[in-house]
Structure 1
């Protein structure tokens, strides 16, 4: 019964949201991104979770440097093929999917040419989230960059200023 009440409330309060994440999970992800970036370089993670119809539910994160220890050595996030093999293995073991990726930028959360040309997961519908100011607190959710990959190095801007109902941080998952 409890699950149906949560689902009903979520459907009434957030009918059009695409990605859902629990506040404690989101806060932990941002804290880890900030810690790993040391206020000096980008840091990133894959958000693992489960699809529920058109919705994506974030359950946990796998940080790039857990997959490839030298992922941040150039100052930007770079992963090679073995890191992705580890990622897919983790997804199989945990029975989760990559629902998005997230990484930090030093200033504004814009999509750089490198971000546009090198999607972490080059599959239509993949979501990339960019957090400004190396995820220093407080993170203004309205300043996130959120982009949906449509293929052929093209993206749709789903940032909160353009699509305010795309990402929802809520306990009602």
Structure 2
């Protein structure tokens, strides 16, 4: 069995990307961050995204900023769904109101926590379908740190199909 950290290419259907942006855009119209997840199966060094998951979430505005919160009951439901459908999470995608970067909150409260997972931050509340090159793309290393990557280069290729 391969580890998610062995993945060098993630293939995501264009419709999954587009539907995810639309979901996040709806939250952004309310002035809130939105989040979606990509799930699928790994085949050696290739990960094929087969499903967009939009978790039940609530947006928060605090003195420190904005965040999307997924409560424990929903996380449990997601884990059961993944297990029953033989799916793995490969990425979490969320919006920021302005620039795309991985905040301290993003680092500490990730949902996709398997080594090798991606965290993609979409700028400007996903007001349009941004190419991934305009998003901030991070990958979780074996020390538990999120490292910014160039998603167009192996071993971190994300290919829209």
- The normalised TM-score by structure 1 is 0.76
Paired position in structure 1 for 2:113: 122
Paired position in structure 1 for 2:4: none
Q: Does 1:59 align with 2:50?
A: yes
Paired position in structure 2 for 1:33: 24
| Rounded Cα–Cα distance in structure 2 between residues aligned with 1:138 and 1:37 | 13
- Give the one of 72, 78, 87 matched to 2:59: 72
Which has the higher Rg, Structure 1 or Structure 2?
1
Structure 2: gaps (5+ residues): 1-6
| Rounded Cα–Cα distance in structure 2 between residues aligned with 1:56 and 1:30 | 20
Give the SS at the match of 1:60. Answer: strand
Which one has a larger percent strand, Structure 1 or Structure 2? 2
Which one has a larger percent helix, Structure 1 or Structure 2? 1
Summarize the Cα distance change of 1:95–1:160 in structure 2 as closer, same or farther, 3 Å threshold. closer
Q: Does 1:42 align with 2:33?
A: yes
Summarize the Cα distance change of 1:127–1:141 in structure 2 as closer, same or farther, 3 Å threshold. closer
- Give the one of 75, 86, 91 matched to 2:77: 86
List, as ranges, runs of 4+ consecutive aligned residues in structure 1 with deviation greater than 3 Å: none
Structure 1: gaps (5+ residues): 1-15
How much does 1:79 deviate? Answer: 2.2
| Rounded Cα–Cα distance in structure 2 between residues aligned with 1:40 and 1:95 | 35
